[in-house]
Amino acid sequence: MSNGTFVRRDASKMDDWDPVLYWYARAVGRLQQRPLTDPTSWVFQGCIHGVPPTVTEENEAFTQCPHGGWFFLPWHRGYLWYFERIIRAAIKEIAAEENITPDPSATWALPYWNYALDAPTKTPPTTFTSRALPAAFRSPKMPDRPGGTNLTVDNPLFLRDDFEPASEAEFWEIPHRAKKKNSAHQILRYPDVNPFRAMSETIFAATKSQGQSTQPTFGSEITYTDMIHFQLAFGDLEDVPHNQVHGGVGGWMGRVDGSPRDPIFWLHHANLDRLWTAWLDKGNHNPDHASWLDHEFIFFDETGKQKRPSTETVLKDAQDYTYESLTDGAGTRPARVPPAQAPQAGERVLATTAVGNPTAAARRPGCDDGVPGAERRPGGHALARRQRRAADQPHPHRAQRALRAAARDTVPRLPQRPQR
Ligand SMILES: [Cu+2]
């Protein structure tokens, strides 16, 4: 494939049912019909990131998502790239069945949710802003054909936002977002999505010293060959906007084990991937360590065949797409700098307490008013201690297991948000 065959476009600028969104919805619906035994199914794809308690099957490809480590960006890039191929193939399949020409899959690429596109407003906005979900994700119904305007068919991109689960079982039973997150104007505050701080960093990854990052980074700590899950420090991009958007949407999006099963997940991560490209475009550099470049991940192509691309291969594969814009929504200098800006070492450790609920993670003092879901939970110090102990394990596999166990034990049950 030649360079930039596909263009990933900005969903925040699209018509409600732009063909890109229409076909995405149709393909998601098709993946949702496939069984868990099929690696191209919606549920299998979600399990590659994290496995909800409703799934008891095991697979070496499950629960890979690395957070709080330097594989966060390349792993998610490969994850998206294979998912995009699977969606494209599903579109091709549907279009062939319905005799639709020209083949919409020939140019289809994953769109991105550019939440920081619209400027902040002093008072809550009264019209649609990029800080609300694009309309196609908020409507229970979708058109019955491409270009159609009658919304008559169930929409696979829609998740309920009027549901308060009374138990963990109920939480996983019904796909949902947090209350009122399908509001049309704004569900995220601008400071929570403004990537300015991340985009201002000049190094991708740094070594850590006694469990603390030695300096702020764009893409997290150097974790060597460890596909760490919520270790000790997030990179700036993973902190804002990544974690904030996960928790800001909430419900399944707020949980590591459920987030990819909200179709907005893929547009959120496409935006983070775009910001990574934009950051490099400013003259910054990726790591050149062999332990980063040679590390292999497990994904599946559109035929369900297992693939083990390295970071280096993931970077090469990504040359088949470009982004509509590398500058729109790429951050603006905050008008007012919060008083206590730099996170304390301890704060970064506490950030990892939010294992199941990325929102609760990584809040910075002075920048937290009204951050949904960002309340600090009790037990953070204990988790940090367990994580530090686990990290000291001489045997890496045992360390990873211990870290995961520590994480599992503290997965917030039903994350409650403070009222705004
Ligand atoms: Cu994420």
Question: What is the Å distance from ligand 1's center to 71 Cα?
Answer: 13
Task: Give SS3 for 367.
Answer: coil
Spatial neighbors of 360 by CB under 8 A, at least 6 apart, are 247, 353, 354, 373, 374, 375, 376, 377, 412, 415
The kind and range of the H/E element at 354 are: none
Task: Give SS3 for 269.
Answer: helix
Per residue in 243-299, pLDDT (tens digit) is 999 999 999 999 999 999 999 999 999 999 999 999 999 999 999 999 999 999 999
Question: What is the Å distance from ligand 1's center to 243 Cα?
Answer: 7
Per residue in 222-252, pLDDT (tens digit) is 776 666 655 556 788 988 999 999 999 999 9
Question: What is the Å distance from ligand 1's center to 103 Cα?
Answer: 31
Question: What is the Å distance from ligand 1's center to 259 Cα?
Answer: 7
Please, are residues 110 and 126 in contact by the beta-carbon 8 Å criterion?
no
**pLDDT-derived band at 402, boundaries 50, 70, 90:** very low
Spatial neighbors of 403 by CB under 8 A, at least 6 apart, are 228, 229, 230, 231, 387, 390, 391
Per residue in 56-87, pLDDT (tens digit) is 999 999 998 887 788 999 999 999 999 999 99
Topology annotation, domain 6-137+157-335+352-409:
di-copper center containing domain from catechol oxidase (1.10.1280)
Task: Find out whether the peptide bond into 102 is cis, omega within 30 degrees of 0.
Answer: yes
Residue length, the chain? 420
Mean pLDDT computed over every residue of the chain: 81
Compute φ and ψ for 8, nearest 5 degrees. -85, 120
81 against 393, higher pLDDT? 81
Question: What is the Å distance from ligand 1's center to 232 Cα?
Answer: 17
Question: What is the Å distance from ligand 1's center to 169 Cα?
Answer: 23
Task: Assess whether pLDDT exceeds 50 at residue 330.
Answer: yes
Residue 42 and residue 246: Cα distance in Å, rounded? 19
Q: Enter the DSSP assignment of 136.
A: G
Residue 192 and residue 201: Cα distance in Å, rounded? 17
pTM (2 d.p.): 0.80
Question: What is the Å distance from ligand 1's center to 115 Cα?
Answer: 14
Task: Assess whether pLDDT exceeds 80 at residue 202.
Answer: yes
Percentage of the chain modeled with pLDDT above 90: 66
Task: Assess whether pLDDT exceeds 70 at residue 54.
Answer: yes
Please tell me the predicted confidence (pLDDT) of residue 83. 98
Question: What is the Å distance from ligand 1's center to 98 Cα?
Answer: 34
Task: Assess whether pLDDT exceeds 60 at residue 132.
Answer: yes
Query: By C-alpha distance, which of 409, 403, 407 is closest to 390?
Result: 403
Question: What is the Å distance from ligand 1's center to 10 Cα?
Answer: 18
Mean pLDDT of 216-223: 80
Residue 233 and residue 205: Cα distance in Å, rounded? 11
Question: What is the Å distance from ligand 1's center to 72 Cα?
Answer: 9
Task: Assess whether pLDDT exceeds 60 at residue 322.
Answer: yes
Per residue in 348-383, pLDDT (tens digit) is 222 222 333 333 333 332 222 223 333 222 233 333
Question: What is the Å distance from ligand 1's center to 242 Cα?
Answer: 6
Per residue in 111-129, pLDDT (tens digit) is 999 999 999 988 889 999 9
Q: Enter the DSSP assignment of 153.
A: E
First to last CA, the chain: 49
Question: What is the Å distance from ligand 1's center to 67 Cα?
Answer: 8
Question: What is the Å distance from ligand 1's center to 291 Cα?
Answer: 23
